[in-house]
Chains A and B, each alone.
Chain A
Amino acid sequence: MRKALLTVMALLLVSTMLFAGGDKEAASSASASSGAKTEIYFLNFKPEVADVYTNVVKPAFEAENPEYTLKVETAASNQYASTLRAEMAKAAPPVIFQVNGPVGIVDNVNDVAELKNTDFYKLLGDKSMALSVGNTEVAAIPYAVEGYGIIYNQDIMDRYFKLADPVVKSMDEVKSFDTLKKLVEDMTKKKNALGIQGVFASTSFAPGNDWRWQTHLFNMPLYAEMIQDDPNANPILTATTAATEFDFDFAPQYKQIFDLYLNNSTTEKGMLGSKSVDDSMAEFALGQAAMVQNGNWGASQILGLQGNKVAPEDIKFLPLYVGLAGEENQGLDVGTENYLVINKNASEAAQKGADVFLTWLFSSPTGKQIVNNDLGFITPFNSFSADEMPSDPLAAEVVRWMNMDGITSVPWTFAGIPSEEWKNAFGAELLKYINGTSSWDDVVSVAQTEWAKEAQIAGRK
């Protein structure tokens, strides 16, 4: 009796699987027969705009290009690498996918198509931004430029400037680490009068939430050292990607801003190991903190938070002043980790379709409007004029800083860090430093030795 029951259940299970599969098959073959459309499969990296792709981009593109169907899948946050590897092994792999830079693209060296003759590549303004790998001259093209620095709340700053004896009278005076430090420490003294819990939002160190420190803030000493070692390197990222050694010459500068964050925070040190980036952004959005280090992608986290107390016009950017020479002329950290690649193992027609789609998205009037208003990307393409820019306040701030007279943006060099392993090791050591179980010298030596080791594993010579 029991055996019979089990057999029936097993059969049912198998048949549902069969029918579920059959259903899909029927659907796709039906659409294929009605005009032989080519499917373009795009594996999207950015979960925050996943809905825009499926609800806005897909219908608009298919309406204007009836010979194609667009399929957009989005990997869950932090799961892109594993999702991509699984998808690439399938019979119908993604046609367009993303890599995070010169280190990431090595994993896909066998999959990259040559983009030199595509229309999409012709749109790229600064051709040196494209990546090459192996024998492929143009393997990956950046599509969104991002900037980060210290985000501050103008409203809280104005309240501070109205208190008795402010150390500076406006944010325009803050042009160096020393001024920033004086300002921040004075604000901490007056935090009750300002109604804030701390000047800086939590230095988040929950698992997977330390990238603002081990990658973004770290860009400052990394860039400074790379440019010191090779002042003529252009682009500096190429030099960083080849670096076999890292001395951490600017560790004191890193330490002083890191300590400033820690000592003037909303949160005591022992609790930082459980704080996430979301927590930090929420503290800023709720007016509990006056400043938070993050990039323009954080705008939606501030303005979208329920109970948000910060007005869009009060959200401003300050460059990361860490105490480097000549920092009064330094701008935000501007660069990209978003590169698109076309899969050379996809069918000829699908590869052509990928070029058509990307060119459409970044140069047709409909596409550009979606990019500006819905996707919110600051693009590196010459098809966008100076006044065609995304509308969110932080993106506007990035553009303002990029175009300021006499100000030079700091390029993203962290994409040249040899491996994720290096970032994890450095981040872990920073957390130990916060918890008092490691000294600062340990942090410096981990950064140096791990770099040498990981560079060797990555095959740098």
Chain B
Amino acid sequence: MISFVIPFFWGIVLSFCKFTNITNADFVGFQNYIEAFTVDSYFMDSFWFTLAFTVVSVITINVIAFALALCLTKGVLGTNIFRTIFFMPNLIGGIVLGYIWQLIINGVLGIWGVNITTNANYGFWGLVILMNWQNAGYMMIIYIAAIQNIPTDMLEAASIDGAGYWRTLFKIIIPSVMPSITICLFMTITNGFKLYDQNLALTAGNPGRQTEMMAMNIFNTFFTRNAYFAQGVGQAKAVVFTIIVAAIALTQLGITRKKEVEN
């Protein structure tokens, strides 16, 4: 508890200071917070980029993961092999994946004589593809566990009552797996916001910081200007970032929790 709380509060205190190292901090009030938004527009740009990326990747990852889970709970031959294969990308580190996908994407784009840093859109969709590839399998496992837990008598009762496939899906399966949806949404949203490794390895923010996400923007803030000016600003950005992520994640938890039904 102490090892968590002390650095956390020290971090907040430092966001109100200008300092070169933590022993010589000068209190400056909200100046860092103002400079975080006024010195350049990169922080807000990275916020919008991160938000767009998170929205797109949360939807695609969860839809793909859920679809895979549905397919792989039908008891078809080879189910376990497929589950293993889809889960495997999750075991590879983000930096490695980033470089591998950079090679693949540049290889494909190379046919047209361009590469991933030619246009910010390429970087955006490259990141979406990468995150889907890495995370869909993990979320799939969670959904599979939930789907397998749905009591079969409920499904049988539904089919006896004459419910079709889509009706069963929306009225029985999805409501029953709501707790898993809560946890999967929570994980994909926070993963999306906190993304750093993959971002660094795939584009490193190029072209011209247009694919720079919030975590990377904060890191870069620390080291691209003189320390006395920059470190406090970076610290302030980190506090803002924490508040944004916490607010969004808690709102999402609140909304989806309400939809969960008691089994």
Contact = CB atoms under 8 A, between A and B. Distances in A.
Interface of A: 81-82, 85, 88-89, 103, 106-110, 205-208, 268, 270-271, 273-274, 419-421, 424-425, 428-429, 431-432, 435, 437, 453-454, 457-459
A431 B209 CA distance: 11
B116 A107 contact: no
A268 B223 contact: no
A271 B22 contact: no
Contacts of B204: 207-208
Given A205-B117, A268-B113, A457-B229, A432 B224 contact: no
21 contacts: A82-B222, A85-B227, A103-B226, A106-B228, A107-B226, A207-B117, A270-B112, A271-B115, A273-B118, A273-B207, A420-B224, A421-B40, A421-B224, A421-B225, A429-B208, A431-B206, A431-B208, A432-B207, A432-B208, A453-B40, A454-B225
A216 B67 CA distance: 53
A270 B228 CA distance: 38
A273 B225 contact: no
Nearest to B122: A273
B253 to A, nearest CB: 26
B72 to A, nearest CB: 29
A276 to B, nearest CB: 12
Contacts of B112: 270
A270 B113 contact: yes
Nearest to A438: B208
Scoring A106, A207, A424 by chain B CB atoms within 10 A of each residue's CB, the highest score goes to A207
6 closest cross-chain pairs (CB), A and B: A428-B208, A207-B204, A273-B117, A420-B224, A107-B227, A270-B114
B152 interface: no
Interface string B2-22: 000000000000000000111
Contacts of B224: 419-421, 424
Contact of A419 (B21, B23, B115, B225): B225
Contact of A271 (B21, B113, B203, B207): B113
Interface in B105-137: 106, 110, 112-119
A423 to B, nearest CB: 8
Does more than half of chain A's interface fall in helix, strand or loop, or is it mixed? Answer: helix
Nearest to B115: A274
Given A274-B106, A274-B116, A420-B225, A107 B206 contact: no
Interface string B71-91: 000000000000000000000
B20 A110 contact: yes
Contact of A428 (B23, B106, B207): B207
A81 B23 CA distance: 18
A437 B102 CA distance: 22
A89 B21 contact: yes
Interface of B: 20-24, 39-40, 102, 106, 110, 112-119, 203-209, 222-229
A227 to B, nearest CB: 26
A458 B113 CA distance: 40
B162 to A, nearest CB: 46
A110 B20 CA distance: 9
A69 B117 CA distance: 48
Query: Could you say which of B23, B203, B206, B228 has the most chain A C-beta atoms within 10 Å of its C-beta?
Result: B206
Nearest to B225: A419
Contacts of B106: 274
Contacts, number: 89
B166 to A, nearest CB: 41
Give the secondary structure class of B's interface.
Answer: loop
Contacts of A82: 222-223
B56 to A, nearest CB: 23
A300 to B, nearest CB: 24
Give the residue among B119, B205, B207 with the most A Cβ atoms within 10 A: B207
Contacts of A206: 117
Which of A88, A268, A270 has the most chain B CB atoms inside 10 A of its CB? A270
Contacts of B229: 457-459
Nearest to B205: A207
A287 B173 CA distance: 64
B118 A270 contact: yes
A273 B206 contact: yes
Contacts of B209: 424, 428
Contact of A458 (B110, B222, B226): B226
Nearest to A210: B206
A435 B228 contact: no
B154 to A, nearest CB: 31
Nearest to B207: A431
Contacts of A437: 119, 207
Contacts of A207: 117, 203-206
A268 to B, nearest CB: 6
B226 A431 contact: no
Contacts of A81: 223
B115 to A, nearest CB: 4
Given A85-B21, A274-B116, A435 B223 contact: no
B165 to A, nearest CB: 40
Contacts of A457: 39, 225-226, 229
Contacts of B226: 103, 106-107, 419, 457-458
A444 to B, nearest CB: 16
B180 to A, nearest CB: 23
A20 B119 CA distance: 49
Contacts of A106: 226, 228
Given A110-B24, A457-B39, A273 B115 contact: yes
B24 A273 contact: no
A454 B223 CA distance: 14
A99 to B, nearest CB: 12
Contacts of A454: 225
Contacts of A103: 226
Contacts of A271: 110, 113-115
